[in-house]
Amino acid sequence: MRNKITVIGAGHVGETAAFNIARLELGDVVLVDILEGVPQGKALDSFESSPIFGFDSTVLGTNSYEDTADSALIVMTAGLARKPGMSRDDLFYKNLEIVEACIREATEVSPDAVIIMVTNPLDAMCEVARRASGFPRERVIGMAGILDSARMRAFIAMELGVSVENTHAFVLGGHGDSMVPLARYSTVAGIPITKLMPHDRVDAIIERTRKGGGEIVKLLKTGSAYYAPGLAIAEMAEAILKDKHKILPCAAYLEGEYGISGTYVGVPVQLGRRGMEKIVEIALTDEERAAFHNSAESVRELIEMIPVAAG
């Protein structure tokens, strides 16, 4: 029997994630949205590409959570997108109600699922989903670090004129301007980027990574990124559904790791069939640890704004 994967939200991120999950044949995909006809049309378009790509996973569009029952994985992308000049924090109250309602409905019919959160502000919305679902922290994780690391890898490749396949990047912290890209853990063919480019160019890449989402929002003017986020979701889904025990940067709920408790923040996570298997702790310098804790505190401030009703 194939896995069933629910993707909530048929916007650009949701449809891209659904398509890539189906293309990887991770299971049958259900794309759900409140807009009538939109998930149905996008799902049909995706499935009609299956003879070309050669995948047999089905893609169903629906407006009913009944069709999502018994999903192994729930991907939450629904919510309002950022607009020019809008920070991720501005989205908080607008998306809180959406996340709470959708997660409650989805988990009621799929009580054993793993949740991948994507809706912004990502780290705080992970906590909303954890409370709304009642799931243990292992089964509510956020997609952020993979995207942030991919952006940094792309910028490194552009700067040095090398293949992106040779690049590796390491990003910790919240998904936003306070994220902590770690240059000394970021490499090209195993060589730290600090050995390959001047300090000012490293700093420029770090700053561009922090502002990566906003850069695209500013350019598009009427939307936000979706190709890279959709593929990042698919990579997480593959690690979970194939029980790969793969270590990826994800938003996870910390209970003492890195000296932080009671908040979601981006860290290296080993993923498997039941979600988060363990958090990998790495050595940080005093400066890196301070920046990481500052990022976590920014997330905590948002989490403290979550109404009791969301718990």
Look at 175 and 258; give whichever has higher pLDDT. Answer: 258
235-238, long-range: CB within 8 Å, 24+ apart, which pairs?
235/146, 236/116, 236/141, 236/143, 236/146, 236/271, 237/5, 237/17, 237/21, 237/24, 237/26, 237/73, 237/75, 237/116, 238/24, 238/26
Tokens 């990003």 belong to residue: 171
What is the average pLDDT across 219-235? 94
Q: What percentage of the chain carries pLDDT values higher than 70?
A: 96
Q: Which band of pLDDT confidence, cut at 50, 70 and 90, is reported for residue 223?
A: confident
pLDDT (0 to 100) of residue 83: 67
pTM of the model: 0.94
Look at 222 and 104; give whichever has higher pLDDT. Answer: 104
Residues marked as catalytic: 175
Q: Which band of pLDDT confidence, cut at 50, 70 and 90, is reported for residue 305?
A: confident
Q: Which band of pLDDT confidence, cut at 50, 70 and 90, is reported for residue 177?
A: confident
Peptide bond into 121 cis (omega under 30): yes
Residue 310 pLDDT > 60, yes or no? no
Torsional sign, CA 142, 33, 133, 59? negative
CATH second-level architecture of 4-142?
A: 3-Layer(aba) Sandwich (3.40)
Q: How buried is residue 129: exposed, middle or buried, by Cβ count under 10 Å (0-12/13-18/19+)?
A: buried
Q: Using only C-alpha atoms, what is the Rg of the chain?
A: 19
